[in-house]
Each structure stands twice: as C-alpha cells, then as structure tokens.
C-alpha cells in the first residue's frame, strides 16, 4: 500500500472549499482533460454526501476504466472520505481534510491505495502510481483553489 499526501492553502471560506471538493461537476471539470473523465452512475452532478456513490469512467494509461466510490465518512465542512467500491485498484481510500488557518482554508488530501497483481502491483505502485496520483491530486487541487478564490471575489 502507498500513501500520498498533499495540501493547498486557499484564500476562500472553508464552506466554499468543502462544497467544491465534493461537487461532481467540479471534479469532472478539474481532472486532466486527456482522461475524458465523466460521471456515469450514482450521483452524476452536484454535491455528493454520506453513503452516496458515484461511478466515474476515465482513461488512464490508455485504458478506459470505471471506478465506483462511496462517501463513507462525512463531517461538514471539515472532513469526508471516499472509498473505492469497484475499479482497477485493490484498495483506495481518499481522505479530504479542511481547516481554517488565518482566515484561509488549508485543504489536505491523504490518498492510500493498493494495486492488484501481487508483487507486480507492488512495484507499479512505487515506480509509477505514486508519482502519477500525487500529480493528479496536486493539479486538481490547484484548479479547485482557482475556482474557490474566483468565487470569493
């Protein structure tokens, strides 16, 4: 298993950042364009909440994939967790933590995942996926930051 942690400081209220972080429309607009990610089942638009699921379809590493996630923990506007129910990963848990720091919002992500395929998956986690997932989160979070700060004007 591998854990990736990121954080970004956003000049916007915590409630705005929390709602953007769990909004399916924002998610599909802020991921890498080449993945052609879209929500195809469950909550497919707007905010997602406790015990709700979403299925995304996207292309990663030239393979079209489906991933179903469920919100398993939820404490607005500070914390929520989505966990993969079905998809390419053997295990995936994404913790979203938000806190107010000097009038701004510190948004922290902790993504823990495991690839299938035993020793081969273990190697791929460390050699490819860790860096890929970190970049994915950092890029998305910078876009969420931009949207939140524009809304705060």
For 130-144, the DSSP string reads HHHHHHHHHHHHHHH
pLDDT at residue 153, as a whole number: 56
pLDDT at residue 138, as a whole number: 95
* Residue 9 belongs to domain spanning: 2-151
Picking from 132, 105, 102, the residue whose alpha carbon sits closest to that of residue 20 is 105
pLDDT at residue 121, as a whole number: 87
CA distance 145 to 21: 10
CA distance 84 to 95: 12
Q: What is the pLDDT of residues 21-57, one digit of tens each?
A: 999 999 888 876 778 889 999 999 999 999 999 999 9
Task: Say how far residue 58 (Cα) sits from the centre of its chain.
Answer: 14
pLDDT at residue 33, as a whole number: 72
- What are the strands of the beta sheet with 38-42, ordered from one edge? 2-10, 104-114, 91-101, 79-86, 63-75, 53-60, 38-42
Picking from 66, 28, 71, the residue whose alpha carbon sits closest to that of residue 46 is 28
Backbone angles phi, psi at 138, to 5 degrees: -60, -45
Instruction: Go through 48-64 and write b for each residue having 16 or more CB atoms within 10 A of its CB, e for each that does not.
Output: beeebebbbebebeeee
Confidence of residue 5 (pLDDT cuts 50, 70, 90): very high
How many domains does the chain contain in total? 1
pLDDT at residue 55, as a whole number: 97
Confidence of residue 60 (pLDDT cuts 50, 70, 90): confident
pLDDT at residue 124, as a whole number: 87
Residue 124: CA count within 13 A, CB half-sphere: 13
pLDDT at residue 152, as a whole number: 67
pLDDT of 62 > 60? The answer is yes
CATH number at residue 101: 3.30.530.20
Q: What is the pLDDT of residues 91-143, one digit of tens each?
A: 999 999 999 999 999 999 999 999 998 888 889 889 999 999 999 999 999 99
Coil, strand or helix at 79: strand
């Amino acid at each position: 298993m591998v854990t990736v942690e990121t954080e970004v400081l956003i000049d916007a209220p915590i409630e705005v950042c929390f709602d953007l972080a769990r909004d399916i429309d924002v998610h599909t607009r802020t991921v890498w364009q080449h993945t052609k990610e879209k929500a195809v089942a469950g909550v497919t638009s707007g905010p997602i909440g406790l015990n709700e699921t979403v299925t995304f379809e996207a292309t990663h590493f030239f393979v079209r994939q489906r991933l179903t996630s469920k919100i398993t923990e939820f404490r607005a506007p500070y914390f929520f967790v989505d966990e993969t129910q079905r998809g390419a990963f053997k295990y995936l848990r994404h913790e979203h933590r938000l806190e107010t720091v000097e009038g701004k919002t510190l948004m922290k992500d902790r993504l823990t995942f495991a690839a299938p395929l035993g020793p081969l998956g273990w190697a791929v986690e460390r050699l490819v996926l860790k860096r890929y997932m970190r970049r994915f989160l950092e890029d998305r979070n910078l876009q969420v930051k931009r949207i939140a700060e524009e809304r705060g004007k």
